């Protein structure tokens, strides 16, 4: 249920950004549905808009970058919960990991508890920020798998706020990634058109984590994609760019 809610929130956020950037977006009441994700009730009929979020594909035989990031998000969430249950004073914690492989559920929980314990033992005074990393003076060793923790404690902070920051390499020649996303949605075009007069496809790159660092280079912009949708757009949220892709009917 929570996963469905998160998906709806992501779809809604991308749709609002898309509508803001598209100068000729049609007027009408918008319903957030499913297959297609949005229905715009215009004076000329119903326009469907299907959403697809882009992720970098897995490299080799390992897990996808998206799956790996989900594990880190889980560790951060568990660490924050452990700190809250312990009664730790509210802090903002920025965590930088150096994990190179997936962890089992038990190891993720153990690492989360170790991080919470480490932060608790090195809690800064009010209105102070501490950098906890290797080769600096602090209580205990930094947990294995963690490079750096930046902990800020403010007298005005009322709740915990823990997050992670990661670096990654962007994919710029995204022709194959875009075409795969289009093909994936093209399989359901018949179902979409049962509830709308025409259907657009919005393919979006959030640009918030390495798994969705995807920016179209000139070759990707000039390429002609195979798409059955009336219009096919690529939204690069990180760069604030919306592109109407060149397409041809399959």
Indicate the helix (H) or strand (E) that contains 115: helix 105-121
pLDDT digits (tens, 9 = 90+) for 27-47: 999 999 999 999 999 999 999
Q: Please, is 184 exposed, middle or buried when counting C-beta atoms within 10 Å of its C-beta (0-12, 13-18, 19+)?
A: exposed
Element (H, E) at 189: helix 189-192
Q: CA 18 to CA 242: how far, in whole Å?
A: 7
pLDDT at 7: 83
Question: Would you state the structure tokens that stand for residue 139, as one six-digit string?
Answer: 């209580």
The whole-number pLDDT of residue 124 equals 92
Cα 231–chain centre separation: 24
pLDDT in tens, 139-188: 778 999 898 899 999 988 899 999 887 655 677 899 999 999 999 999 99
Q: What is the pLDDT of residues 118-136, one digit of tens each?
A: 999 999 999 999 999 887 7
The position carrying tokens 């018949």 is 190
Average pLDDT taken over every residue of the chain: 89
Tokens found for residue 128: 């102070």
Burial of 95-108, coded b for 16+ CB within 10 Å and e otherwise, reads bebebeeebeeeeb
Q: DSSP readout, 51-86? A: EEE--PPP-TTS--HHHHHHHHHHHHHHHHHHHHHH
| pLDDT of residue 208 exceeding 70 | no
> Which residue is associated with the tokens 């920020």?
129
């Amino acid at each position: 249920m929570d996963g469905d809610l998160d998906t709806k929130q992501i779809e809604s956020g991308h749709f609002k950004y898309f509508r803001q950037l598209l100068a000729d977006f049609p007027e009408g009441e918008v319903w957030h549905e499913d297959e297609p994700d949005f229905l715009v009730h215009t004076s000329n009929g119903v326009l469907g808009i299907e959403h697809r979020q882009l992720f970098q594909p897995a490299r080799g035989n390992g897990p996808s970058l998206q799956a790996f990031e989900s594990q880190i998000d889980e560790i951060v969430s568990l660490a924050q919960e452990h700190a809250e249950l312990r009664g730790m004073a509210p802090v903002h914690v920025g965590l930088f990991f150096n994990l190179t492989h997936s962890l089992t559920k038990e190891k993720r929980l153990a690492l989360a508890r170790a991080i919470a314990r480490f932060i608790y033992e090195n809690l800064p005074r009010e209105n102070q920020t501490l950098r906890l990393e290797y080769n600096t003076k602090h209580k205990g060793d930094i947990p294995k798998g963690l490079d750096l923790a930046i902990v800020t404690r403010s007298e005005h902070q009322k709740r915990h706020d823990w997050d992670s920051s990661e670096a990654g390499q962007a994919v710029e020649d995204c022709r194959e990634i875009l075409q795969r996303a289009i093909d994936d949605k093209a399989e359901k075009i018949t179902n979409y058109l049962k509830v709308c007069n025409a259907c657009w496809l919005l393919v979006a790159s959030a640009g918030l984590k390495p798994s969705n660092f995807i920016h179209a280079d000139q070759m990707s912009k000039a390429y002609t994609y195979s798409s059955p949708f009336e219009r096919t757009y690529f939204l690069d949220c990180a760069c604030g760019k919306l592109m109407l892709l060149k397409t041809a009917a399959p």
